[in-house]
Chains A and B, each alone.
Chain A
């Protein structure tokens, strides 16, 4: 197993790196190898090696009994009405240990029906677990956790991240590596403002934190990793430290993940907030196709948004100092 994984890891001695695609592929491979009851099913997963090549090599290795190509059918109903509810409605008689995985949110130039972020939709369903990896470490650890989990898990990947490379430690490369579901990761420590993000937005948040650092503002970036269950305690602990919160997501603002995070913080850490919670999200419109319009999607312009917020944050700080 490790041999196969190593083959995909870029040479670099201690500083090994891996693309998210390879991270997902290796996680699938290792979990299928470890448990003969794990199998993959869907359109294009077998012969085609996966619509985004995530299941590459699996058909050849495990055969058509475990990597099953199926006809197409696109429906959310069975995820939210069957998978999420069966265990509860049947009082534990029908469990649904399944992982629904695939790209979520916008790629580039794929228009309204291929760009929506469903984190908030699925995050609203009791009975589901919802994960959103960012880095290769996230991809490996969370996918393994999802496969091992007895509950139905929605695993929201991002097409643009598939090709991105991230450093991975030896621990991450080990086949027993697993991340806990429901725990966020502090990607960057800071003390002036907390920025929560998930999936591709973590990358933007980190870049924004760099820019803010040059202006003397130390931002703490939290990679949520898990949308449901949400790591309320990590978020609150961070806000109690920094006293300011910005939530970032690419999805629509109304009823979004940021709205839930804001509510969590207001409920538990109200006295600690020095300024109202800021939400950065996509425009409340179906994603347009034209490249120039897509570029104007607010959370895609997060760095500019941060400059704006930066000013607000500074103003709040100045206000605080005066008093």
Chain B
């Protein structure tokens, strides 16, 4: 607080000096070019030094710089152009807390919306052909095929598990349909050492890193093999060994957490960054503001990826913010940002690679806004046809599909065929159905898991509660599900 007071005291003195000038008419007026006439020297002082002395502005007084230099303003002194009257007011700059600012005599408000929106970086056109002069990071055949088959796997997993919820076999599900390029291509651009803090629509990142279909299914069915010990709703995956933070439903809470995680990487001088994801809705949260601000000030190596898919449940982006999307917000925090076509796997891959590089070598945050479309409903608790036109959904599902767009590029390179495609899809589908069967039949987690991990060691009151619960179950076994081990 003392620093702030020091600054404001300085500012107050500066302002008093200004006001002092304003009060004195004509020749003392700040706006009046005659003001700096050395003949009109004033003897009024504010701090005992020649503070308020207009003559001191001419730089003749040796006390000028001494009195005007405030401890907390690090950016140097005020320089006065001695030929002020000739060069004009426009060339002047002034020190304020936070740095040196030039003046303008034009009262101009910055427009709330640009004439042109920030353009979107893109590599592939809709026919899967690289756009002329586009710069992008080359992807090998092996990498491309892994990316493509992962996108297909993700889509299939989403379709089948969504159906499982519809059939009542799991309680909840949410899909990433339409956002497969973001999921897979960003993951492909990272190393396994980069720490990922997801929102909840990024299971593809975990899939890329090696989480199996069985592991996904186990979590959805909340069985004994679930790494989450059956404690969370479906799709709340998490895996330390894959450097993927456990999903937490609350929106945008991962944003400030990402800064902390990145700061620890910075302290340990690791060759890694943190990547955190959120949707367009998440940018309205207070945590978005606090997180980005902290990241910038603390120079944390975090890559912020915003999946701007146009919808936050039923809230369209036009009702979410009035800025030019999310990319412009980065600048407000002093963060380098880019807008990318989120349905173009190569653009996503290249931008993420570049962002990661910058974040690590320059130790600072980067913001990437990926434009895409949420083809599926928000979740199984939602029916989006209630608030948006069916043909809009259809259009994005087909004509703007990121998987088929990437497929076209892969095809043109001669790396894939229809036969490969159908084999892949049949295979994945079979694996999934098998995984679901196994997951469904598996035992649920034991009752002791209700009480562990609240604290590192089990406290006495929870021991007691567990005992009470077991007694209760013994007394009323009919009120207790038979498939849950005691």
Write the residues of chain A forming the contact surface with B, with a CB cutoff of 8 angstroms.
44, 47-48, 51, 65, 68, 70-71, 73, 75, 77-78, 81-82, 85-95, 126-127, 129, 150-151, 182, 229, 232
Stretch with Cβ within 8 A of A (4 or more), from B104-112, B202-210, B453-461: B453-461
Q: A91-B228, A94-B245, A129-B455 are in contact. Are A82 and B240 (CB under 8 A)?
A: no
Q: A89-B248, A229-B461 are in contact. List 19 more A-B contacts (CB 8 A).
A: A71-B293, A71-B294, A73-B256, A73-B294, A75-B290, A78-B253, A81-B253, A82-B248, A87-B453, A87-B456, A88-B454, A89-B232, A89-B236, A92-B452, A93-B246, A94-B240, A95-B456, A129-B455, A229-B460
Q: Does the CB pair A81–B250 fall under 8 Å?
A: yes
A229 to B245, Cβ gap below 8 A?
Answer: no
Residue numbers in A under 8 Å from B239 (CB-CB) = 93
B416 within 8 Å of A by Cβ?
Answer: no
Q: Is the CB of B248 within 8 A of A87?
A: no
Count of A-B contacts judged by CB separation below 8 Å: 87
Q: How far is the CA of A93 from the CA of B197 in the complex (A)?
A: 13
A65 and B238 contact, CB distance less than 8 A: no
CA distance A121 to B232 in the complex (A): 24
A73 — nearest CB in chain B belongs to which residue?
A: B290
Q: Chain B contacts of A51 at CB under 8 A?
A: 1
CA distance A77 to B248 in the complex (A): 13
Contact across chains for A82 and B453 when beta carbons are under 8 A apart: no
Whole-angstrom distance between the Cβ of A8 and the nearest chain B Cβ: 21
Provide the bound-state CA to CA distance between A295 and B194, in Å.
56
Q: Which residue of B lies closest to A91 (CB)?
A: B229
Smallest Cβ-Cβ distance to B285: which chain A residue: A77
What are the residues of chain A within 8 A of B293 when measuring CB–CB? Answer: 71, 73
With the chains together, A82 CA to B231 CA distance in Å?
15
Q: Which A residues touch B236, using CB under 8 A?
A: 89
- Complex contacts, B253 vs chain A, CB 8 Å: 77-78, 81-82
Chain B residues within 8 Å of A89, by CB: 228, 231-232, 236, 246, 248
B240 touches A93 (CB 8 A): yes
List residues of chain B with CB within 8 A of the CB of A94: 238, 240, 245-246
Establish whether residues A82 and B257, one from each chain, have CB atoms under 8 Å apart when the complex forms. Answer: yes
Among A82, A86, A150, point to the contact of B456 (Cβ < 8 A). Answer: A150
Residues of B264-313 whose CB lies within 8 A of A: 267, 286-287, 290, 293-294, 297-298
8 contacts between A and B (CB under 8 A): A68-B298, A78-B256, A82-B248, A82-B257, A87-B453, A91-B226, A91-B231, A182-B459
Q: Which residues of B contact A71 (CB under 8 A)?
A: 290, 293-294, 297
The smallest beta-carbon distance between B224 and chain A, in angstroms, is 12
Which residues of chain B are within 8 angstroms of A87 by Cβ–Cβ distance?
Answer: 453-456
B172 close to A (CB within 8 Å): no
Closest 4 CB pairs of A and B: A90-B246, A91-B229, A73-B290, A150-B456
Residues of B413-460 at the interface with A, using a CB-CB cut-off of 8 Å, are 449, 452-456, 459-460
Please measure, in the bound complex, the distance between the C-alpha atom of A92 and the C-alpha atom of B226, giving whole angstroms.
12
Instruction: Say yes or no: A70 contacts B453, CB within 8 Å.
Output: no
Any chain A CB within 8 A of the CB of B399? no
- In the bound complex, do residue A151 and residue B455 qualify as a contact, i.e. CB atoms below 8 Å apart? yes
A151: which B residues are within 8 A, CB to CB?
455-456
**Shortest CB distance A186–B (Å):** 20
Q: Is B390 an interface residue, CB under 8 A from the partner? A: no
Minimum CB–CB distance for A257 against chain B, Å: 16
Do A48 and B231 touch across chains, with their CB atoms under 8 A apart? no
Which chain A residue lies CB-closest to B286? A75
Partner of A90, one of B238, B287, B294: B238
Q: Is the CB of A48 within 8 A of B2?
A: yes
A265 to chain B, nearest CB (A): 15
Which residues of B are found within 8 Å of A48, using beta-carbon distances? 1-3
| Given A44-B1, A93-B227, also A229-B298 (CB < 8 A) | no
Q: Which residues of A contact B250 (CB under 8 A)?
A: 77, 81-82
CA distance A88 to B236 in the complex (A): 13
A225 to B142, CA, bound (A): 61
* Nearest-CB residue, chain B, relative to A94: B246
Q: What mask results when residues 353 to 393 of chain B are scored 1 for a CB within 8 Å of chain A, else 0?
A: 00000000000000000000000000000000000000000
By a CB distance below 8 angstroms, the chain B residues around A92 are 452-453
Q: Which residue of A lies closest to B227 (CB)?
A: A91
A48-B1, A82-B253, A82-B257 are contacts. A91–B453 as well, Cβ < 8 Å? Answer: yes
Taking a contact as CB atoms closer than 8 A, the residue among B245, B297, B454, B455 that contacts A70 in the complex is: B297
Which residue on chain A has the smallest CB distance to residue B291?
A73
Contact between B231 and A88, CB atoms less than 8 A apart: yes
Shortest C-beta distance, B395 to chain A (Å), equals: 38
The interface residues of chain B lying within 8 Å CB-to-CB of A44 are 1
Binary interface encoding of chain B residues 231-244 relative to chain A, with 1 for a CB under 8 A from any of its CBs, else 0: 11000101110000
Chain A residues, CB < 8 A from B297: 70-71
Q: Are B294 and A127 in contact (CB under 8 A)?
A: no
Chain B minimum-CB-distance residue to A75: B286
A93 contact set on B, CB distance < 8 A:
227, 238-240, 246
A127 CA to B455 CA, complexed, in Å: 6
Smallest Cβ distance from A154 to chain B, in angstroms?
14
Contacts of B461 in A (CB 8 A): 229, 232
Whether B454 lies near A126 (C-beta < 8 A) is: yes
A75 to B454 Cα, complex, angstroms: 22
Q: Which residues of B contact A86 (CB under 8 A)?
A: 246, 248
Q: Which residues of A contact B290 (CB under 8 A)?
A: 71, 73, 75
B48-86: contact bitstring with A at CB < 8 Å (1 yes, 0 no)? 000000000000000000000000000000000000000
With contacts A89-B246, A126-B454 taken as known, whether A70 is within 8 angstroms of B1 at the C-beta atoms is: no
In the bound complex, what is the Cα–Cα distance between A126 and B248 (angstroms)? Answer: 17
Interface string of B1-28 (1 = CB under 8 A from A): 1110000000000000000000000000
Q: Please indicate the chain A residues that have their CB under 8 angstroms from the CB of B287 in the complex.
A: 75, 77
